[in-house]
Chain A
């Protein structure tokens, strides 16, 4: 099972899960799709809309 981390969704402001190293992720609360960058190998961040 892959490792998962959290980022904050800019649309609904809730935290959603991101798979380790993912470049794209979808918020499981509101369905928004984001491009993801990694501040550290353990800390994802929404970079912009996908």
Chain B
């Protein structure tokens, strides 16, 4: 497991250099997200723009990716992103990452721009740059099918871009199979800017697990630990739509572009239970025993006959509550279109709902759009989505995200844009939950729920239990601000380790306090790699990796002023929901104190800049370029 390879690919020069990943780098960063940001931090200077050939696109497998435990089908895709001009980062499930490892590589560090469309073929220690002009214009399903046929192997796994990536839509993603998305950060747009249509891989090489017997025995024990939880049982039946029931009932789901915090009774048709009518079967990513993914079929109506996978909870906001539509058919249809286009449905939905509210407020008119944008009009939703992906008329403007679009629509329109650092927020409404609000605000990749969200905060667990889990006294009340800076800090580090190992967050303590975490990762790493880590060392690696991402953002102009949730959450109270949620909004003074508590916990100063002593403790030096020279 230690003699793994990184390939440095220069698409401009059509050259590849392969090196072994040094053991010291593993001890400092593990793999996946951690190592990806080691390469970007050291090689992408601030003057490099996201679509410049000098920008890097780094594909990384976690240190445990491809092994039979805890949903290790994960792949991390990282770059300087077009939406935030800072950290652009996505984590993808499926089977691409494992296959890349079986082909002998853990990381691909890609720079340059091909003269014409190309794809990479990675096979058992070799990498070829192949022509892809014939694939350009195909959707993500068609591209993967064509690659399997062309290579002549059904077991080829690919990560590809669709039309959105080709058109450099700022929130284009990369896709593997039907629904595995490297969704966030515009990584697909950067891939498109490099004329890189796909990376296809197939491998039969040995992973060289350090102690196979002990690893398998312990991994099976971990899988059983996960499967015994109520969380996993619910997830394997309902998938992530299970989250809808709690969020719309309580009142923390953005509705009609966050004008409301729940649709109330009107949203009942989207309850997770009603998706059961569409489910054909459940599938899973490689290495997963939970099987949370639905394969669905629409039997009747306008979209009858459509068979696809998903949708996830994100789509229930994007083509659901955010646009005032409460129809599973539309959510499933929209999800399938987004997957084919290769676009982050979460960002797309937030941009569309922003446009709808601007239309409601007569900031955008029918003349600007070409048709009416009225809440609940599913045809308007689908048509505007298509126009954005095709960069057609007003879609061309919206395809550049909130910050660029507002320069033409008017800066005042940004008040209605629910984002942080330019990245759209998930449809969660965080104004009643301070820890969630802090988490989206400080997330290095911009507004996001998968960088630190302490979902277990909602359970109001006993404080003695929280102290044992987190190692600090944490208030049980999820509407409190005090101690939540520490809670978010803990989850930032923890999720970094999860992403650096390549295990699934749904099998971590994200939504379930009884799932495996640091204590269980220590033996897993020992049996898999032979390396000894302590829990404390893993926590420090999380801190080191997270601080490097923070430094990258600071170097690129993203500082304290970008660590705030949307202004709307401070000004407009919740209008709906359970009695204790109604009337809640964020308190500015309390938020500020929570932010300071969070900075202090990281060892950062009052402006959120890592202190010299923190960098010294973590062994972080100034960037030193190390992309090998190729001729």
Contact = CB atoms under 8 A, between A and B. Distances in A.
A47 B273 contact: yes
A50 B42 CA distance: 56
Contact of B230 (A11, A37, A39): A39
Interface centre among A40, A48, A49 (most CB of B within 10 A): A48
Interface of B: 230, 233-234, 237-238, 242, 245-246, 248-250, 265, 268, 271-273, 458-460, 578-580
A-B pairs with lowest CB-CB distance, top 10: A13-B460, A39-B234, A37-B273, A10-B249, A10-B250, A48-B249, A39-B237, A11-B578, A39-B233, A47-B245
Contact of A46 (B230, B233, B238, B249): B249
Nearest to A6: B230
Interface in A7-50: 8, 10-11, 13, 37, 39-40, 43, 45-49
10 contacts: A10-B250, A11-B579, A11-B580, A13-B458, A39-B238, A43-B233, A46-B249, A47-B272, A47-B273, A49-B249
Nearest to A14: B460
A13 B458 CA distance: 8
Contacts of B237: 39-40
B265 to A, nearest CB: 8
- Main secondary structure on A side of the interface with B: strand
Given A10-B249, A13-B460, A49-B265, 17 more contacts: A10-B250, A11-B578, A37-B273, A39-B230, A39-B233, A39-B237, A40-B237, A43-B233, A43-B234, A45-B242, A45-B245, A46-B246, A46-B249, A47-B245, A47-B272, A48-B245, A48-B249
A10 to B, nearest CB: 5
Given A37-B273, A47-B273, A10 B578 contact: yes
Contacts of B268: 48
Contacts of B248: 48
Contacts of B265: 49
Contacts of A47: 245, 271-273
Interface residues of A, number: 13
Nearest to B276: A37
B245 A46 contact: yes
A40 to B, nearest CB: 6
Nearest to B273: A37
Contacts of A48: 245, 248-249, 268, 271
A36 to B, nearest CB: 10
Contacts of A43: 230, 233-234
Nearest to B477: A13
B512 to A, nearest CB: 12
A35 B85 CA distance: 46
Given A46-B246, A48-B249, A8 B459 contact: yes
Nearest to B235: A39
A10 B246 CA distance: 7
Contact of B233 (A8, A37, A40, A49): A40
A17 B578 CA distance: 21
Contacts of B459: 8, 13
Contacts of A37: 273
B249 A45 contact: no
A32 to B, nearest CB: 8
A46 B578 CA distance: 14
Contacts of B578: 10-11
B551 to A, nearest CB: 38
A41 B268 CA distance: 23
Contacts of B271: 47-48
A37 B238 CA distance: 11
A28 B130 CA distance: 66
B159 to A, nearest CB: 33
Contacts of B458: 13
A47 B246 CA distance: 8
A22 to B, nearest CB: 15
A8 B249 CA distance: 13
Nearest to B248: A48
Contacts of A39: 230, 233-234, 237-238
Contacts of A8: 459
Contacts of A49: 249, 265
A43 B557 CA distance: 49
Interface centre among B249, B268, B273, B578 (most CB of A within 10 A): B249
A49 B265 CA distance: 8
Given A8-B459, A10-B246, A10-B250, A45 B580 contact: no
Nearest to A37: B273
A30 to B, nearest CB: 10
A10 B243 CA distance: 12
A13 B248 CA distance: 15
A47 B234 CA distance: 12
A39 B229 CA distance: 12
B234 A45 contact: yes
B521 to A, nearest CB: 28
B136 to A, nearest CB: 45
A46 to B, nearest CB: 7
A11 B268 CA distance: 18
A13 B273 CA distance: 21
Nearest to B265: A49
A6 to B, nearest CB: 10
B224 to A, nearest CB: 16
Contacts of B249: 10, 46, 48-49
